[in-house]
Amino acid sequence: MKNLYLIIPAALLLFSCDAQDSLPPQITSATENMTAEQLLEHVEILAADEMMGREPGTEGEDKAIDYIVSQYEEIGLEPGMPDGSFTQTVPLTGQNSTSAELRFMQDGQLIGDREYFYDFMAWPSRDQEEVAIRDAELVYVGYGIRAPEEDWDDFKDVDVSGKILVVKNFNPVTFEDRFEGGKRLYYGRWNYKFEQAIEEGALGALIIHTDETAGYGWDVVSNSWNREMPALDVDHDHDMELEGWMTESMSEELAGAAGHELSDLLEMAEDPDFEPITLDGITLDADITAEYSTTEGRNVVGKLPGNDPDIGDQALIFSAHHDHLGTGDPVEGDSIYNGAWDNASGVSATIEMARSFKNIEDDLRRSVYFVTVTAEEGGILGSQYFAENMPVPAGKVTANFNLDSINIFGRTRDLEIVGFGRSEIDEVLESNARLLDREILEDQNPEQGLFYRSDHISFARVGIPAIFPKHGTDWLDYDADYTETVKERTDKIYHTQKDRVYDWWDLRGAAEDNILLFASALEILNADQMMQWLPGDEFEEARQEALEEVAE
């Protein structure tokens, strides 16, 4: 059954009359296609069972790419790659752990009987087909962070080479003058933990999972790593053997066997004077086997060229990932991770954004690229490859708008922007929001580190100011309790086979959000100056380097 809201005329859905009248006619006419019904049409195709979860390098991804390219061609976009193609090949290596056994020992006795998937996840750190570890010492290193600019060093002068590091997720949260007052920075991301362990010469690293420190449940960890994991097909220049996660209950048992309370260890990590703690008497034996495959994912790149002779070679980039998790073990008879919300919805918004800009292509000073990327779910790999191999230099890209899991829940007066407060994009968003009697909110859950968890981070790392829009919480058609309903629905579908289109989907909010984003992007595209990070932002230096490269 279709959502009833979809059959209401678009003019009644999008804005109040006053707000609608405040929009420039150019924007109103250009975005006539931006309706709930049009957005849903693409989602239903991209999230159909026939797409088989759109795993990178599979027939399902190929079908999704064929559909996206056909839409770009129908709209009239130019191929975005220099070779005249709509696609960019992304070389990937797939790792599939065929068996994994961790045995924690104390005085020759096994501590507990823990099971892969339910108690831990573990895999080779690089391209080893077999990992065999014996009698490895375990060292708890708190957050496992070295951050001189934050006056923080969890390792002090302790040599942890050849050890298995046990690491708390997140970064310190109790200091107003450190780590931006407790927001999750890159230091708080799981990939940083492994990267730093490699820098320290560790034999392996195991992250302690709690719902609070991760921002999601264990099922997200187990579902995300219980499959072939892609990586960019590059040489690994490190000797670390093991990476993985442990559940809170398993971590409590290990801590107790070493004479500690897990809660005490986690609390100790908040102290800047913390020093690594050897889990006395505890050793690890590990046996892991893995198989590897070489495959190719593909990014899709469409373009509308700019018309200004001076800045037409500069660009703004819309991005969305078209991949999802493929198939897995059946749950209630369903083995397909359809990925309707995450992220067929964002791809749909990107397609319709392209259609809207095509309607006013003669008015664009800068170029605009519409990029759907592969392998986001496996580690934000497709966007990383694109950002490092773009058809336009990073120093000529004014901004990135990343559309990931858009608003399927209904209309809101506000719009949350992950990345708000970091760049000059803020002012543009706020001015256009005021036209529509709306409000821009900063990230409402900074502890979750969302700025580092989707494709915009790949663009930020090369210096491009980037944002990631979410839904708001000031519901226009629902009462305040609806926020809890949204959370329940999100928890139910995120990275599960239940991420499908439901009768409760209400894409009117997405349509309104996208028109606000369109108006803001148009202003940025036609501005005299390119966007910059605000002074002091962690990516300001990368921006300056990118600008200097194109100025030479």
Q: What is the pLDDT of residues 413-458, one digit of tens each?
A: 999 999 999 999 999 999 999 999 999 999 998 888 889 999 999 9
Sequence ranges of the domains in the chain: 4-93+293-551, 95-291
With contact defined as beta carbons under 8 Å apart, do 111 and 105 qualify?
A: yes
- Mean pLDDT computed over 222-226: 89
pLDDT at 18 over 60: no
Determine the topology of domain 95-291 in CATH.
Answer: Glucose Oxidase; domain 1 (3.50.30)
Is residue 21 very low, low, confident or very high in pLDDT (cuts 50, 70, 90)? low
Q: What is the mean pLDDT of the chain?
A: 94
pLDDT at 261: 98
pLDDT at 467: 98
Residue 100 identity: A
pLDDT at 505 over 90: yes
With contact defined as beta carbons under 8 Å apart, do 145 and 196 qualify?
A: yes
Measuring CA to CA, which residue among 318, 432, 309, 423 is closest to residue 366?
309
pLDDT at 552 over 80: no
Identify the residue with better confidence: 234 or 330: 330
pLDDT at 2 over 60: no
pLDDT at 6 over 60: no
Indicate the Cα dihedral angle 72, 77, 79, 81, nearest 10°: -100
Token pair belonging to 254: 């290990």
pLDDT at 12 over 70: no
Provide CB contacts within 8 A for 241, sequence distance 6+. Answer: 124, 125, 128, 131, 133, 203, 204, 286
pLDDT at 14 over 60: no
Token pair belonging to 398: 């004014």
- Mean pLDDT computed over 292-300: 95
pLDDT at 4 over 70: no
pLDDT at 427: 98
pLDDT at 15: 44
Is residue 178 very low, low, confident or very high in pLDDT (cuts 50, 70, 90)? very high
Is residue 354 very low, low, confident or very high in pLDDT (cuts 50, 70, 90)? very high
- pTM here? 0.84
pLDDT at 8 over 90: no
pLDDT at 5 over 80: no
Determine the topology of domain 4-93+293-551 in CATH.
Answer: Aminopeptidase (3.40.630)
pLDDT at 11: 37
How buried is residue 483: exposed, middle or buried, by Cβ count under 10 Å (0-12/13-18/19+)? middle
Cα 212 to the center of its chain, rounded Å: 19
Strand 87-106 vs strand 229-232: parallel, antiparallel, or unpaired? antiparallel
- Mean pLDDT computed over 382-398: 98
Percentage of the chain surpassing pLDDT 70? 96
- Mean pLDDT computed over 126-139: 96
Provide CB contacts within 8 A for 18, sequence distance 6+. Answer: 437
- Mean pLDDT computed over 5-19: 41
Is residue 19 very low, low, confident or very high in pLDDT (cuts 50, 70, 90)? low
Question: Under the phi-then-psi rule, with left for phi > 0, alpha for psi from -120 to 50, and beta for the rest, what region is 259?
Answer: left
pLDDT at 149: 87
Residue 524's CB: how many other CB atoms inside 10 A? 22
With contact defined as beta carbons under 8 Å apart, do 430 and 498 qualify?
A: no
- pLDDT, tens only, 181-196: 988 888 999 989 999 9
- Mean pLDDT computed over 343-354: 98
pLDDT at 399: 99
Please give the full DSSP string across 534-545, using - where no structure is assigned. PTT-TTHHHHHH
pLDDT at 9: 34
Q: Helix (H, G, I), strand (E, B), or coil: what is residue 248?
A: helix
- Could you tell me the sign of the dihedral formed by the alpha carbons of 210, 215, 220, 221, in that order? negative
- Mean pLDDT computed over 209-217: 93
Percentage of the chain surpassing pLDDT 90? 86
As a whole number of angstroms, the distance between CA 94 and CA 21 comes to: 52
- Mean pLDDT computed over 401-410: 98
pLDDT at 400 over 80: yes
